[in-house]
Amino acid sequence: MSLRRTLLTTRRILEQLRHDPRTLALLLLVPTALMGLLAWSLTNRPGAFDSVGPKLLGVFPLIVMFLVTSVITLRERTVGTLERLFTLPLTKADFVAGYAIAFGALALVQSVLVSVLSYSWYGLAHQGVPWRISAVALCAGLLGTAFGLALSAVAHTEFQAVQFMPAFILPQLLLCGLVIPVSQLPSALRAVAKVLPMTAAVHAINPLQSNQYYVGQFAILLAYIFAALVAGASTIRRVTK
């Protein structure tokens, strides 16, 4: 692995996004707007936004980075740039880390943007330490990126990749603790929910809301990211059968 090649790859990915301002805008503004919409819709239920809002700060980056990564890496596979890179001195680790850093950075920008607006304009009550919530958001973005890399190996077209979105994301949204706390799920579902990556992100946010800070939850999240990145890298094959 080489830091130079990793950072070159990061820069290349960010340059690609820079030439696609619409995608970049959607990436940064949609979560911001959704959060505002949520705050507005909960105006008549005091305290509701304070309870759901911060959890979403962990959920948005996961979803958005998952989608963007799966489409952009799928394109690398179909256009043939990935095969070209495999004839060059670029390792899988350089490639995966390049993606992780690029989208991790975006996740960070996104979460700062969403939280600043949430705390100021949307009236989210100050809970915990904002930078800790941003750290979790960054991790959630990395998690999304890692799963996106893995998905791009399974999907053969961009159309399929988009179809995978509801299959991968929606069940997690239902079970991760946003709709109903995981502890109140039927026991079989609870077992499933506990191992879902999105649950790990929400669980890392939960203690922050009550101003607590569990290193354990954070460590679990990091372990998920590492495992998902390794899984994502293992789906990349240098040689075609």
Partner 1 sequence: MDSSDHSTFDVSNLRVVRSGHEILKSISFRAAPGELIGLLGPSGSGKSTLMRSLLGVQAITDGSARIMNCAAGSRSLRGKLGYMAQSAAVYLDLTVEENIRYFTGVLAQGPSEVARVMDVVALTPFADRLVASLSGGERARVSLGVALVGSPPVLILDEPTVGLDPILRRDLWHTFDDLAKSGATVIVSSHVMDEAARCARLLLLRDGALLFDGTPASLLAASKASGYDEAFERLIEGDR
Residues that bind partner 1 in the complex, under the rule CB under 8 A: 4-5, 8-9, 11-12, 15-16, 19-20, 79-81, 83-90, 238-241
9 vs 32 by CB, closer to partner 1 = 9
Q: Both tokens of residue 229?
A: 């990145």
180: helix, coil or strand? coil
What is the rounded CA–CA span in Å between residue 174 and residue 237? 34
What's the closest the beta carbon of residue 102 comes to partner 1, in angstroms? 13
What's the closest the beta carbon of residue 84 comes to partner 1, in angstroms? 5
19 vs 45 by CB, closer to partner 1 = 19
Whether the CB-CB separation of 226 and 85 falls below 8 Å is answered with no
202: helix, coil or strand? helix
195 vs 239 by CB, closer to partner 1 = 239
What is the rounded CA–CA span in Å between residue 205 and residue 133? 6
126 vs 241 by CB, closer to partner 1 = 241
What's the closest the beta carbon of residue 82 comes to partner 1, in angstroms? 8
What's the closest the beta carbon of residue 156 comes to partner 1, in angstroms? 15
11 vs 156 by CB, closer to partner 1 = 11
What's the closest the beta carbon of residue 136 comes to partner 1, in angstroms? 30
Under 8 Å CB-to-CB from 91, ≥6 apart: which residues? 1, 2, 5
What is the rounded CA–CA span in Å between residue 117 and residue 111? 10
What is the rounded CA–CA span in Å between residue 111 and residue 72? 21
86 vs 119 by CB, closer to partner 1 = 86
Q: Both tokens of residue 56?
A: 């979403």
Whether the CB-CB separation of 132 and 53 falls below 8 Å is answered with no
What's the closest the beta carbon of residue 32 comes to partner 1, in angstroms? 24
